[in-house]
Amino acid sequence: MSSIQRISRIPFHPILFGLYPVLKFLDHNVKEVELIVSVRMLIGVLLGVSVLFLFFRVLLRDWERSAVMVSIMTLLFFSYGHVYSALKHVNVLGEIVGRHRYLIIVYLILLAVGWLWAIRKGRKTDITVGMNVIGFALLIVPMFHVVSYELIFRRVPSSVAPPVLEQPQKDPSFYPDVYYIIPDAYTRQDTLLEFYEYDNTPFLEALEDRGFYVARCSQSNYAWTQLSLGSSLNMNYIQEIYHRQDRNGLTSVVRNSLVRQILESIGYKFVAFDTAYTGTQWHDAAYYYSVEEKSLLASVFPNGLREYEALFFRTTMGLIFLDVDTIFQMRLHEAITESPKRDRYERTKYILDMMDSVITLPSPKFVFVHILSTHYPYVFGKDGEYQPDQKDPISGYRDVVEYTNSRILDFVDAILARSSIPPIILIQGDHGTEETQRDFRRMNILNAYYLPDGGSDDLYATITPVNTFRIIMDTYFSQDYGLLPDVSYLSLWPNLLKFEEVPDNWSGCTP
């Protein structure tokens, strides 16, 4: 018997069946999360399956039967949430099929039948070999997708080639620092007033008093962060610079943008923060601030559950315990639902608290600050307190806008007071709000510019982000990009690259 044949008869299929749902879930979300967020889940599943395997081996004194029983349990456990979601709206004879009271009975019957079969048939070597083969076959596709994405798409440089610039005519230290502040999903004044019953005039006037030009009728070019930032940071429309039909390479388009390549080539250092959102996690920035302090152990084993882990938990049989938690008071709901919100709060609060510290970093620098306080779920109260139970998204959004405004103004004041050379400051929503994502109001954004020494002369009320750095490059770096037509494109999840051109939506503002 060859060594391969001997290995194939070792019953390791429970491990393979345990790995599959984790890798499949990662495969489905690989464009949105970093690979490291799945490490703790993989370790947990491997430990859980191994403990069960050893338990049944001690109980039955048979490796093959124990393996079959554990594989059956694993398949049932990790399939439950998917089946529940598929059936929860199915109505048969006036009764919803997707209820725990029915599915639990069905799953118990399947488990009993599976175990009886395992006890009677599970010791046959051909069953072990067959289940090993099935386990390996299941892993091939998600493994290939995850690995290829990491190697091909996440790490590749942008396909947008920078122009060849002349050497700077002056010492790079005399270039202005650039602060690009992105309060995520921050909508325009007219939408705030109409939809959220919030008058943002005091904040806008406070910016104008400090020398900002507020583009009162600005729209985003795209409805999603990666598309919007990919366009603004490359000074062109996505359709012109990204020719794929999927989202695989969008992260690289943002991270290795044309603006970044140009500015780094003349001596700028980039500063970024860990947002836990893969599209704006610039790990390779010269200065990278993380609440986890770049500790690999902290990244793999953070305190509490991340949002990604909580979503995965809901695809398993753990969903039963989550839904009956109110009866048994196990505090599972707090761990699964509240912990990701707490993680969002702590991470965003860290960014807000650390913003001032980057001002004294050596110049010239490009500071990229992506603020998620204004992105759903709304976990900040109006005074910055943790407030995870914002039942009403209207009042919840008003609160986070009010708090975010105060933090942005404080940051702006600190920048202006402590900058030896007048800086460039951009405050720009990447798209509109969660509540308006299916209509044209999704494109309405806050868009404010502090461009010293006459840089505001070419700004206008309806400017869109695609022209932001075109004006900056032409004004401060002697380029000749000129302006593009301002066009907005709406797309809906998950078809982000299927665009609908949005008409100018200025009904609530004065262009």
Nearest to 72 by CA among 118, 135, 10: 118
Please state, in angstroms and rounded to a whole number, the distance separating the CA atoms of residues 179 and 41: 37
Quote the CA–CA distance of 192 and 338 in Å, as a whole number.
27
CA–CA separation, 378 and 389 (whole Å): 8
CA distance 245 to 499: 12
Quote the pLDDT of residue 258: 93
Q: Is 271 helix (H, G, I), strand (E, B) or coil?
A: strand
Any residues with CB less than 8 A from the CB of 330 and at least 6 apart, and which?
321
Q: What average pLDDT does range 246-263 have in this prediction?
A: 86
Tell whether the model's pLDDT for residue 74 goes beyond 60: yes
Specify the pLDDT at position 308: 79
- Is residue 218 scored above 90 in pLDDT? yes
What pLDDT digit, counting tens, does each position of 302-316 carry?
A: 556 677 788 888 888
- Residue 157's pLDDT is 47
What is the pTM for the complete model shown? Answer: 0.81
pLDDT at 200 (0 to 100): 96
Average pLDDT of span 133-159: 76
Report in angstroms the alpha-carbon separations of 473 from 91, 321, 450, 480: 59, 56, 14, 8
Give the C-alpha separation, 45 to 330, whole Å: 21
Query: Rounded mean pLDDT of 26-42?
Result: 79
pLDDT tens, residue by residue, 334-344: 666 777 888 88
Lowest mean pLDDT among 26-40, 154-168, 190-204, 394-408: 154-168
pLDDT over threshold 90, residue 162: no
pLDDT at position 125: 66
Residue 214 scores a pLDDT above 50: yes
395 within 8 A of 197, measured Cβ to Cβ? no
Q: Picking from 28-32, 113-117, 173-177, 460-464, which range would have the lowest pLDDT averaged per residue?
A: 28-32
Question: How far lies 226's CA from each of 221, 344, 348, in Å?
Answer: 11, 19, 19
Mean pLDDT across the stretch 153-181?
64
464 Cβ neighbours under 8 A, 6+ residues apart: 218, 219, 220, 221, 447, 486, 487, 488
DSSP state for residue 157 in the 8-state scheme: P
Inter-residue contact 66 to 127 (CB < 8 Å): no
Query: What is the DSSP code string of 356-394?
Result: GGGTTSPSSEEEEEEE-TTSSS--B-TTS-B------HH
pLDDT at 1: 46
pLDDT of residue 171: 63
pLDDT digits (tens, 9 = 90+) for 346-371: 989 999 999 999 999 999 999 999 99
* CATH fold of 176-267+344-450+480-502: Alkaline Phosphatase, subunit A (3.40.720)
- Say how far apart CA 81 and CA 318 lie, in whole Å: 8
Write down the pLDDT at residue 335: 65
pLDDT at 442 over 70: yes
Q: How confident is the model at residue 510 (pLDDT cuts 50, 70, 90)?
A: confident
Condensed to tens digits (0 to 9), the pLDDT of residues 392-435 reads: 889 999 999 999 999 999 999 999 999 999 999 999 999 999 88
Candidates 428, 381, 382, 387; CA nearest to 402 is 382
Q: Give residue 339's pLDDT.
A: 77
Q: Which residue has the higher pLDDT, 91 or 25?
A: 25
Which tokens is 322 given? 């989550």
Q: What is the mean pLDDT of residues 175-195?
A: 95
Domain boundaries, the chain: 3-154, 176-267+344-450+480-502
Among 3, 32, 4, 10, which Cα is nearest to 496's? 32
Segment holding 272, helix H or strand E: strand 269-273
